[in-house]
Amino acid sequence: MLYSAFNGLVVGIFYALMALGLSLILGLNGVINFAHGTFMALGGYLAFTLEPYIGFWGGLVVAPLLAVVVGLAVERFLIRPLYGRDPLFSLLLTFGLAMIMQDVIRTIWGSIGQPFALPNYLNSPLSSSMFFLTGFRLVVIAITVLVTGALFAVLRYSRIGIRIRAGNADLETISSLGVNIFFLRAANFGIGIFLAGVAGILAAGQLGLSPTIGDSLIMPAFVAIIVGGVGSLMGSVLGGLIIGIASGLTAAFFPVAQEVVIYVIMAVVLVIRPRGLLGQEGLFE
Amino acid sequence: MSAVLEADGLQTYYGKSHILHGVSLKVNQGELIALLGRNGAGKTTTMRSVMGLTPPRGGNIKLFGKDVTKAASHRIANAGVGYVPEGRKIFGHMTVHENLLVPPETKGPWTIETIYKLFPRLEERKTSKGGRLSGGEQEMLAIARALLLNPKFLILDEPSQGLAPVIVQEVMRTIGRMKGEGMSILLVEQNAHLALQLADRAYVLSDGEVVYDGSAAELGADTERMEHLAGVSHAG
């Protein structure tokens, strides 16, 4: 039971990191980023390629930043011309982009999954009674807490974070107050992609690498946003963890329903509380 | 006198609806200009055109002598224009202090500290959520936010809207004080009498066209004409 819940928690962390980035980008950029899963895969693959040179920890920092560079180019040249238009345009764009990027990844790294080598000291269980508790899983949790905590601190206290929150509510008004919203949207998109890149590396270490690694995570991440409440970043994290643990437990006790359980949760939440768990609030109050 | 704002022949649309039909107006250095008109006459649209929020499809806009017709809104603001939008547009989910951290820091007399000296009430409520403020406090906050840009030109869109008369007097005193300090001001008001008391000159808009362009005192004295043009009576 504990084992399954813990397994679910780790998967939930991937959902939460994905949902957080998607939610940020949806909020300020107004883009439903279907390419988020492929940015995640990109982060994982870049870390995989860099690992022999700069190690796991180096890759964990550098690979997401490289994914951000790609993300910023995408934002600048493909997404920016679509701001202010029907959100359907950017949705279709990122949907197509996801397919293109996935094929690029296949071309470079091959379509068969790759094992992502972890440092040995991270790979062994910490104790025989808690065999599921490997060092890497603790690292996954610690990194996620760190990254999420840093993100919330930036949003709470820094000027750019305050502007992102203000812009979520009213982009036009911050622009008329002298804030460069082109820069702000790009920065926000970059932060979202950074989170995807980190999620990609952590997920690669846990699940192994494949070009479609993001596909299995992006739909649950959207579900996490809906369960947590659109517009609430805390909600996205909470939603991710809830559906992760739920699917972990279902996998153990009622495996057939493992896939469907998250959609059942979503349906129940939508019926009881249509705005999602934390949906009435703005960004993390 | 050098012109702060010169708008010439603005043609502005919302989608397919043609709102402004060739609006021209001018604000000179140190002047307070009232822009009057009935609901839907195009006053807010004129402000939004100037601020680059709804750029005009025809005509051109010069600020401080430079063409900004196609400029992005933040560039216009950073050129020295403080904008207090209709409905105040406070960030209701953020604290008063956070609201004041949205505009960039600029060189000049206005900093968050001097703003708190001008509006002690805002300092008292600095940790309150913007949405919890009274209408008057929100108006102060909206003006404060605009002043942080250390603007040379202030655009106020219906600052008295929805406020109690006592508070309106206070807001108007603040605006009068800004004018006293040499600020150029464009004041949009439904409450024409109030605006004309402060203004040097006035424009009246009707159906997206300028129908009066002249002295504020003259218009203020001619009750019948004002009622006809701007749809206001002395009771207002």
CA distance A234 to chain B (A): 15
- Which residues of chain B does A283 touch, with a Cβ-Cβ cutoff of 8 Å? 93
- What's the confidence (pLDDT) of residue B1? 63
- Taking CA–CA distances from B129, the nearest residue in chain A reads A285
How many Cα atoms are found within 13 Å in the side-chain-facing hemisphere of A74? 27
Nearest to B104 among A165, A179, A285 (CB): A179
The C-alpha atoms of residue A146 and residue A192 are separated, in whole angstroms, by 15
- A175 to B72: CB separation less than 8 angstroms, yes or no: yes
> Cα-atom radius of gyration of chain B, to the nearest Å?
17
> Cα-atom radius of gyration of chain A, to the nearest Å?
18
- A166 to B99: CB separation less than 8 angstroms, yes or no: yes
Residue listed under structure tokens 């979202």: A192
Burial class of B24 by CB neighbour count within 10 A (0 to 12, 13 to 18, 19+): middle
Mean pLDDT of A99-123: 89
Q: Which of residues 172-201 of A touch B (CB under 8 A)?
A: 172-182
Q: Let me know the angle formed at the C-alpha of B178 by B172 and B179, rounded to the nearest 5 degrees.
A: 90
What rounded mean pLDDT belongs to chain A?
Answer: 92
- Which residues of chain A does B94 touch, with a Cβ-Cβ cutoff of 8 Å? 162, 165-166, 169, 282
Q: Is A8 left (phi over 0), alpha (psi -120 to 50) or beta?
A: alpha
What is the three-state SS of chain A?
CHHHHHHHHHHHHHHHHHHHHHHHHHHHHCCCCCCHHHHHHHHHHHHHHHHHHHHHHHHHHHHHHHHHHHHHHHHHHHHHHHCCCCHHHHHHHHHHHHHHHHHHHHHHHCCCCECCCCCHHHHCECCCCCCCCEHHHHHHHHHHHHHHHHHHHHHHHCHHHHHHHHHHHCHHHHHHCCCCHHHHHHHHHHHHHHHHHHHHHHHHHHHCECCCCCHHHHHHHHHHHHHHCCCCHHHHHHHHHHHHHHHHHHHHHCHHHCCCHHHHHHHHHHHHCCCCCCCCCCCCC
Is the confidence at residue B235, as pLDDT, over 50? Answer: no
- Which residues of chain B does A169 touch, with a Cβ-Cβ cutoff of 8 Å? 91-94
Tokens of B108: 């000049």
Nearest to B101 among A159, A170, A180 (CB): A159
- What's the confidence (pLDDT) of residue A282? 44
The C-alpha atoms of residue A180 and residue A2 are separated, in whole angstroms, by 49
φ and ψ at residue B32, rounded to 5 degrees: -115, 115
Single pTM value for the model: 0.92
Biggest CA pair distance of chain B: 48
**B129 contacts: CB under 8 Å, gap ≥ 6:** B92, B93, B94, B95
The C-alpha atoms of residue A219 and residue A240 are separated, in whole angstroms, by 11
Is the confidence at residue B100, as pLDDT, over 50? Answer: yes
The predicted-structure confidence for B11-51, as pLDDT tens digits, reads as follows: 999 999 999 999 999 999 999 999 999 888 999 999 999 99
- Which residues of chain A does B103 touch, with a Cβ-Cβ cutoff of 8 Å? 177-179
- Which residues of chain B does A166 touch, with a Cβ-Cβ cutoff of 8 Å? 91, 94, 98-99, 102
The predicted-structure confidence for A92-106, as pLDDT tens digits, reads as follows: 999 999 999 999 999
Looking at the complex, does the CB of residue A170 fall below 8 Å from at least one CB of chain B?
A: yes
- Which residues of chain A does B101 touch, with a Cβ-Cβ cutoff of 8 Å? 159, 162
The predicted-structure confidence for A133-187, as pLDDT tens digits, reads as follows: 788 889 999 999 999 999 999 999 999 999 999 999 999 999 999 999 999 999 9
- A172 to B98: CB separation less than 8 angstroms, yes or no: no
- Which residues of chain A does B93 touch, with a Cβ-Cβ cutoff of 8 Å? 165, 169, 281-283, 285
- Give the amino acid at B111: T
The predicted-structure confidence for B193-229, as pLDDT tens digits, reads as follows: 889 999 999 999 999 999 999 999 988 888 888 777 7
Q: Let me know the angle formed at the C-alpha of A273 by A268 and A278, rounded to the nearest 5 degrees.
A: 115
Nearest to B98 among A162, A170, A175 (CB): A162
Residue to mutate among B98, B110, B149, with most A CBs inside 10 A, is B98
The C-alpha atoms of residue B122 and residue B133 are separated, in whole angstroms, by 9
Nearest to B53 among A172, A180, A283 (CB): A172
